[in-house]
Chains A and B, each alone.
Chain A
Amino acid sequence: MPLLQVHGITKRFGSLTANDRVTIDVEAGEVHAVLGENGAGKSTLMNIIYGLLHPDEGSMTLAGQPFQPRGPREAMAAGIGMVHQHFMLIPALTVVENIVLGREPGTRLRLDLDVAAREIRQLGGRYHMEVDPYARVRDLPVGLQQRVEILKAFYRKARLLILDEPTAMLTPQETGELFAIIERLQGEGLSILFISHKLEEARRIAQRITVMRLGRVVETLPAEGATAQELANAMVGRDVVLQVERDPQPPGDPVLEVENLTVLDATGKPRVKDLSLTVRAGEIVGIAGVDGNGQEELAAALAGLLPAVHGRIRLAGRDVTGAPVRRRLEEGLGYIPADRQAEGLVMNFTLAENLALRSYWRAPYARGLMLAFERFNSVGRGQLERFDVRPADPRMLARQLSGGNQQKVILAREVGARPKMLIASQPTRGLDVGAIEFVQRRLLELRSQGTGILLISLELEEILALSDRIGVLYGGQLVAMLDGARVTRERVGLLMAGSREEVSA
């Protein structure tokens, strides 16, 4: 008998059916992955199981008993734990305080944290999830914060753990550690619902995979034997190209030349050290590295947002070392910032205004000092259609779009400017399979048109798939420059972790 059985759950929000007759079951001791794109209804389903939402139709049973949680408290009492994508921890409190929150041990007047701390140490030791109970959560890295969330579920005696996009914020190493933890938990007989839009992860960790699309269950199948292609097709509802084709192409003249670049962060610490690299026309140079090794500062310095305290930057042969952002843009630089909502878009502006953001002060958007505002929408509409933004309505506000469509707007703006050199910082972060494919195709298209591309990404797969050459950034230094066609995943991984080797650019 399955531990949890969800039968025919339907949940509507107004005219939108977020879950449509969803049926799924989880065996005891099983890792069951729920795979789907953003908006497929995964989170709605999990929120129903966790008692945050109430279904309009359908029923659930937990260990054979009817299960209708009226709220998370009841779900927890029944043995369901949930780790949200955005952690529900209080940064100023310690680990133990966070874990006992809502179930404080001791008498009514006296809080006995030491007992709880001992218990947390024991739990942590048993599952190899060591964490100092007295550390403040704000001082912990993301991976450890997630452990605290998992321990919190355990402390409440969870039998079924829901992990909502657990790898979204993790580095590859942290992801590996998480998977090891999941395997140990499973060994103890715990069931896990693993929510993700990354199909490789689902295949790696789960025994069974349920694919959802548009609120419905497309299929449930054993992970063993499921191919990435068939999962991707089921998720997107059409045939997807997973491995984008990259034709060999001789690179042209250098469009970006960086010599001995040193960049400081806001606190004056050097974050990019003596870095040199060249990107040629029609070439994609990938920058691999664990988050926080200088990627942000490198991108910012190239765009002109941080000063180069040492070194030179040449764009299409012209020195732009001290040039302001706008001059670099006018010299042919395109820039896709890492955080599209905070850096790439003005969320309260219309799409047309966002498309005009980098060139509003000149034709076709301006006549002298006046805006040619009547052209905004007509120019915008064409661009939106070319980049398949949905809806292609230039009067929509940026914040009304999904993440994938927001990224397409940025692409439309930056690629539409026909750059000689494009810096793409995390261009597919947080996007679903269909949107990732779209973005990657556009980058390759741009490459074949002769644009040089610097691809800075935390997704090693993406770097490996797209790059002609791969630079590895470690501690602010470029520790290696490798041939993309001949490099192995393992070698890049080792270099990312700090193993040294000669630069062979």
Chain B
Amino acid sequence: MRPWVVWATPFVAVILAVIVGALLIIGFHHNPVVAYSALFQGAFGNVQDIATTLTDSLPLMLTGLGVAFAFRAGLFNIGGEGQYWVGAIVATIFGIAFPGLWAPVHIFICIVAAMIAAGLYAAVIPGLLKAYLGAHEVITTMMLSYAMVFFGHYLVENGPMMRPGFIPESRPLAASALLPTLVPGSQLSVGIFLAPVCALAMALLLNRTTYGFGIRTVGQNPRAARYAGIRVPIYTVSALFVSGLFMGLAGSVQVMGVEHQLLDGFNSGYGFTAIVVALLGKNHPWGTLAAAILFGALSAGANTMQINAAIPVQLVNAVEGLIIFFVATEGLIHWGLSRRHAAVQPAPGQGALAG
């Protein structure tokens, strides 16, 4: 595979989704140009819109980085949703527990506690089971994800964290645990600055540290890694831990920056969308951020599109679905992009040159 083909694939997937989405919009007797420009306006039209887009993107950026990191170690952490809930729950507990602390300290404690808890939730059970018993992390992270999401619901629905009254939600966090708002009138908090910091940290960790070299080796070829003296189980467990750190960070930042309390409706599917975000971003830190912004823009712009162009939000969901579809059929796009080279060079496996 040529490198440019690999990098072009996500763009082609998005373009194809936009084209097929346009056909779909035409099919429903709307004007795709009007629809897309309303969508774009809604996502990037003014500072408030951009703030909303970034607010919607932030949890996807962080969870996306978590999925991407696990992928780089050859692991498929699809239980990000549950780990995200762990982060949210722990941040809420710590955010309520120490009112009156100096805000930077309080925020720091909440975030670190949430990250470590979520990291352990990913590493201890799925990580150890995978490393020493070979239990597949797709199953274990998925199962534990559901367990944690339901446990979170229980906590605020008649559980110990429910505030007095009848609404299934926790008490609000202490003011000292809230992330300052960045754009007045929006929900965008200073937490957004964590995204590029995290992406940079992940890039450095993977490419500039010996630990990252081990992670990449294990991810690319665990057998060769063993032969080279790398202890694969350690990397399996620790990669899931680091992946969980990102998820926990996402959950805590969402509680501390946007929701300010744990809600029954907190569940949002970020942990699952994160998988698509990471795939679209080619498991590359900066690519993942870009993909998250795309998905944030789609969700933020959808409402404007509905109001201004009277086009149902569901069409945006369809476009999201199409992107997922075209990312998933990446092999097809590869084939399409490299077809003109196929005339020059036989496909691998055909072996015409191997003689």
Return A255 CB to nearest CB of chain B, in Å.
19
The answer on a CB contact under 8 Å between A38 and B209 is no
Q: Within 8 Å CB of A44, what residues of B? A: 352-353, 355
Q: B199-222 CB contact bits vs A (8 Å, 1 = yes)?
A: 000000001111111101100110
Q: Does residue B231 face the partner (Cβ distance < 8 Å to A)?
A: yes
Say yes or no: A43-B354 contact (C-beta < 8 A), given A13-B345, A370-B210.
yes
Q: Does residue B224 face the partner (Cβ distance < 8 Å to A)?
A: yes
The answer on a CB contact under 8 Å between B227 and A13 is no
The answer on a CB contact under 8 Å between B355 and A43 is yes
Q: Within 8 Å CB of A335, what residues of B? A: 227
Q: Does residue B344 face the partner (Cβ distance < 8 Å to A)?
A: yes
A48 to B39, CA, bound (A): 55
Q: Does residue B133 face the partner (Cβ distance < 8 Å to A)?
A: no
A433 to B237, CA, bound (A): 45
Say yes or no: A357-B210 contact (C-beta < 8 A), given A43-B352, A47-B352, A326-B229.
no
Q: Does residue A4 face the partner (Cβ distance < 8 Å to B)?
A: no
Say yes or no: A39-B224 contact (C-beta < 8 A), given A13-B344, A371-B208, A373-B208.
no
Q: Does residue B228 face the partner (Cβ distance < 8 Å to A)?
A: yes
The answer on a CB contact under 8 Å between A16 and B228 is no
Return B349 CB to nearest CB of chain A, in Å.
9
Return A483 CB to nearest CB of chain B, in Å.
32
| B residues apposed to A, CB below 8 Å | 207-214, 216-217, 220-221, 223-231, 344-346, 351-355
B345 nearest in chain A by CB position: A13
Q: Does residue A24 face the partner (Cβ distance < 8 Å to B)?
A: no
Q: Out of B210, B228, B344, B354, which one reaches A358, CB within 8 Å? A: B228
Q: Does residue A449 face the partner (Cβ distance < 8 Å to B)?
A: no
From 345 to 366 in chain A, residues with beta carbon under 8 angstroms from any chain B beta carbon are 345-349, 353, 356-358, 360-361, 365-366
A328 nearest in chain B by CB position: B229
Q: A45-71 CB contact bits vs B (8 Å, 1 = yes)?
A: 111000011000000000000000000
Among A227-235, A272-280, A308-316, A336-344, the stretch that binds chain B is: A336-344
The answer on a CB contact under 8 Å between B221 and A346 is yes
Return B339 CB to nearest CB of chain A, in Å.
14
Q: Out of B221, B223, B224, B354, which one reaches A38, CB within 8 Å? A: B354
Return B129 CB to nearest CB of chain A, in Å.
19
The answer on a CB contact under 8 Å between B217 and A349 is yes
The answer on a CB contact under 8 Å between A18 and B210 is no
Q: Within 8 Å CB of A115, what residues of B? A: none
Say yes or no: A14-B228 contact (C-beta < 8 A), given A44-B353, A349-B217, A360-B213.
no
The answer on a CB contact under 8 Å between A342 and B344 is no
Q: Does residue A325 face the partner (Cβ distance < 8 Å to B)?
A: yes
Say yes or no: A347-B221 contact (C-beta < 8 A), given A13-B352, A39-B354, A360-B210.
yes
A45 nearest in chain B by CB position: B355
Interface centre among A18, A342, A343, A365 (most CB of B within 10 A): A343
A47 to B355, CA, bound (A): 10
A396 to B231, CA, bound (A): 26
The answer on a CB contact under 8 Å between B223 and A342 is yes
Q: Within 8 Å CB of B213, what residues of A? A: 353, 356, 360-361, 371
Interface centre among B214, B225, B354 (most CB of A within 10 A): B354
Q: A447-488 CB contact bits vs B (8 Å, 1 = yes)?
A: 000000000000000000000000000000000000000000
The answer on a CB contact under 8 Å between B229 and A358 is yes
Return A215 CB to nearest CB of chain B, in Å.
10
From 395 to 434 in chain A, residues with beta carbon under 8 angstroms from any chain B beta carbon are none
Say yes or no: A16-B355 contact (C-beta < 8 A), given A342-B224, A357-B228.
no
A346 to B216, CA, bound (A): 10
Given contact pairs A45-B355, A326-B229, A360-B210, enumerate 10 new A-B contacts (beta carbons under 8 Å). A13-B353, A43-B355, A324-B229, A326-B230, A328-B229, A329-B228, A353-B213, A357-B217, A360-B213, A373-B207
The answer on a CB contact under 8 Å between A343 and B346 is no
The answer on a CB contact under 8 Å between A349 and B345 is no
Q: Out of A46, A328, A346, A360, which one reaches B224, CB within 8 Å? A: A346
Q: Does residue A195 face the partner (Cβ distance < 8 Å to B)?
A: yes
Q: Does residue A203 face the partner (Cβ distance < 8 Å to B)?
A: no
From 7 to 36 in chain A, residues with beta carbon under 8 angstroms from any chain B beta carbon are 13-14, 16, 18, 36
Return B346 CB to nearest CB of chain A, in Å.
7
Return A374 CB to nearest CB of chain B, in Å.
10
Q: Out of A16, A18, A46, A371, which one reaches B209, CB within 8 Å? A: A371
30 A-B pairs whose Cβ atoms sit less than 8 Å apart in the complex? A13-B344, A13-B352, A18-B352, A18-B353, A38-B355, A39-B353, A39-B355, A41-B355, A43-B354, A44-B353, A47-B352, A52-B352, A53-B352, A195-B355, A324-B229, A325-B226, A325-B229, A343-B224, A343-B227, A344-B227, A345-B224, A347-B221, A349-B217, A357-B217, A360-B210, A361-B213, A361-B214, A369-B210, A371-B208, A371-B213
A40 to B352, CA, bound (A): 11
Q: Within 8 Å CB of B351, what residues of A? A: 43, 47
A346 to B226, CA, bound (A): 11
